[in-house]
Chains A and B, each alone.
Chain A
Amino acid sequence: MITLKNVSKSFKTKRGRKYILKNMSIVIPSDKNIGILGRNGTGKSTIMRMLGQIEFPDKGTILSDKSFSWPLGLSGGFVGNMTGKANIKFVCRLYGKSPKEINEIVNFVKLFSELDDYFDMPIKTYSSGMKSRLSFGLSLSFDFDYLLIDETLSVGDARFRKKSKEALMKKIESCNVLLVSHDMGTLRDICDVGIVVNKGKMSYFDNINSAIDEYVRINS
């Protein structure tokens, strides 16, 4: 369960304050795969970052007893002049994994990401597709209650996209996702429920299809 209590979040712009959420209270039930929809710039990614506790509301509180992954997206928290392998080891250590577990995760990610020789080369030599393959493989190795995914599925070539979607479908048997996407097909396939973000409000729909209908309605 995720509880938002009187949450406000805004940004100062040259043309006044822009609200992403204004005095919002909502309870999001557990054990659902949640899709977040909204037009560009409504603050979907910011909301996701707030759930991942790396961005904070101006007012109000967000409470949850669940664990959240770091937001998986195009720009992972990787260090450019370290190798892919060294970066994977670093994140494992952050989560307090033992040397044996680290070894297993490194092997898994190497296999999954299909980076071959690039796995032992600095990340700065990677293309953005390669980076997200690494980041996605890594996220599959941890047991979070929620995976925060920001459009990651839309990168990589067609074959890898298919593979990662299959891996994700398998993963969500044991965990849930919070997915920001503009791809209605992906949202329908993966998510059970939806949240539409619009004009400083989040509206919860207990069926992803009705969330998509609402999204289409505000877009037209």
Chain B
Amino acid sequence: MVKRSSFKIFLAVQNALFLRELSMRFSSGRMGIFWTFFEPFFQILIFVLIKLLLFGSEENSFDFAIFLALNFTAFNLFKNIVVKSTASFKANKALFLYKQVKPIDTIIARSMVEVFITSIIIVIFLSLGFYFDFDMNIEDLSMVTFGFVWLILFSLALGVFMAVLNVFVDSIGKLINFFMTALMFSSAVFYSVDILPIDIQGWIMYNPLSHFMEIIHGFYFDSLDDHLVSYDYILAWTLSLLYIGLWLYIKLEKRIISS
């Protein structure tokens, strides 16, 4: 057999896993596909309705529907990367039979599938936005993109950590959905932090996800900014998670493969 370089092997494995994950996502029945692409619309619809009921048609300085579309896209991306990664080692155990498949490969491939699906959703949102003549001016596209890329890195770091835990602690997989719901309410997804009372703002900003949301919508809308964001704080979170996650993974990789 011809020897391949380890980078070539990595690319072949990623290619195989990506296509496999994608076909699994789309072969899971019509409801699965439907829900993947329409979940964000339902989320927007529900929160627009809630706002109408609670506050009437009071005007914001920005379009609330676009605000929700942006934030839910980012939050769902985070949620899906972390949830799929957490289950990744257990779900792909059969594949570790092939020695070139390392457990962490399955996390990378799954996350890439999520990024791919999110890009399709963004394209759908943009087309609808242009078609219905929404005002979609972006204050600073490069900072919004920067926020998304950093969020993906943060999600990956958390995903690796959770995936390792999930192999050795049984209940993690069940807790994660509850954890995600709690995060959705405390992460500035359907509100911006500066409309909250001052003493609550401090608490909300302990949640690193709120910082990412504030960066993303802060640089999207002219009327919002990032003055509450502490870049050092989320850098510390990202690096610590990445360090702990990878350290645990390297220590336990062999046990994960043969578990």
Q: Which of B8, B98, B258 contacts A91 (CB 8 A)?
A: B98
Known: A54-B257, A142-B1. A93 touches B19 (CB 8 A): yes
Q: Which of B8, B16, B27, B96 contacts A82 (CB 8 A)?
A: B27
Contact B20 A82 (CB under 8 A): yes
Chain B residues with CB below 8 A from A143, complex form: 1
Contact A94 B100 (CB under 8 A): yes
B79-122 contacts to A (CB < 8 Å): 94-101
Chain A residues with CB below 8 A from B11, complex form: 96
Interface string of A62-99 (1 = CB under 8 A from B): 00000110110001111101100010001101111000
Chain A residues with CB below 8 A from B8, complex form: 96
B24 within 8 A of partner (CB): yes
Chain B residues with CB below 8 A from A145, complex form: 1
Chain A residues with CB below 8 A from B95, complex form: 77
A30 within 8 A of partner (CB): no
Within the complex, the shortest CB–CB distance from A100 to chain B, in Å, comes to 15
Chain A residues with CB below 8 A from B98, complex form: 54, 70, 77, 91, 94
Contact B9 A96 (CB under 8 A): yes
A52 within 8 A of partner (CB): yes
Chain A residues with CB below 8 A from B28, complex form: 81
How many chain A residues touch B (CB < 8 A): the figure is 28
Known: A70-B97, A79-B94. A93 touches B12 (CB 8 A): yes
B23 within 8 A of partner (CB): yes
CA distance A184 to B28 in the complex (A): 45
Contact B27 A81 (CB under 8 A): yes
Chain A residues with CB below 8 A from B9, complex form: 96
Known: A81-B27, A144-B1. A56 touches B16 (CB 8 A): no
Chain A residues with CB below 8 A from B97, complex form: 54, 70-71, 76-77
B15 within 8 A of partner (CB): yes
Chain B residues with CB below 8 A from A142, complex form: 1
Chain B residues with CB below 8 A from A96, complex form: 4, 8-9, 11-12
Chain A residues with CB below 8 A from B23, complex form: 82, 86
CA distance A200 to B23 in the complex (A): 45
How many chain B residues touch A (CB < 8 A): the figure is 26
Within the complex, the shortest CB–CB distance from B255 to chain A, in Å, comes to 9
Among residues of B, the one whose C-beta sits closest to the C-beta of A52 is B99
Contact B101 A94 (CB under 8 A): yes
Chain B residues with CB below 8 A from A55, complex form: 257-258
Among residues of B, the one whose C-beta sits closest to the C-beta of A55 is B258
Within the complex, the shortest CB–CB distance from B17 to chain A, in Å, comes to 8
CA distance A96 to B258 in the complex (A): 24
Within the complex, the shortest CB–CB distance from B200 to chain A, in Å, comes to 46
Chain A residues with CB below 8 A from B27, complex form: 81-82
Contact B24 A79 (CB under 8 A): yes
Q: Which of B12, B15, B99 contacts A54 (CB 8 A)?
A: B99
Within the complex, the shortest CB–CB distance from B191 to chain A, in Å, comes to 40
CA distance A74 to B4 in the complex (A): 28
Contact A56 B254 (CB under 8 A): yes
B143 within 8 A of partner (CB): no
Chain B residues with CB below 8 A from A81, complex form: 24, 27-28
Among residues of B, the one whose C-beta sits closest to the C-beta of A73 is B97
B22-60 contacts to A (CB < 8 Å): 23-24, 27-28
A103 within 8 A of partner (CB): no
Chain B residues with CB below 8 A from A67, complex form: 1
CA distance A86 to B20 in the complex (A): 8
Contact A90 B24 (CB under 8 A): no
Known: A77-B94, A143-B1. A70 touches B12 (CB 8 A): no
B13 within 8 A of partner (CB): yes
Within the complex, the shortest CB–CB distance from B172 to chain A, in Å, comes to 23
Chain A residues with CB below 8 A from B96, complex form: 54, 77
Within the complex, the shortest CB–CB distance from A105 to chain B, in Å, comes to 14
Within the complex, the shortest CB–CB distance from A52 to chain B, in Å, comes to 6
A59 within 8 A of partner (CB): no
Within the complex, the shortest CB–CB distance from A208 to chain B, in Å, comes to 26
Interchain Cβ contacts under 8 Å between A and B, 10 examples: A54-B99, A70-B99, A71-B97, A75-B94, A82-B27, A93-B12, A93-B15, A94-B16, A94-B101, A95-B12
List 18 additional A-B contacts (Cβ < 8 Å) besides A49-B258, A96-B4.
A54-B257, A54-B258, A56-B258, A70-B99, A71-B97, A77-B94, A77-B95, A79-B94, A82-B20, A90-B19, A91-B16, A93-B15, A94-B12, A94-B98, A95-B12, A96-B12, A142-B1, A143-B1
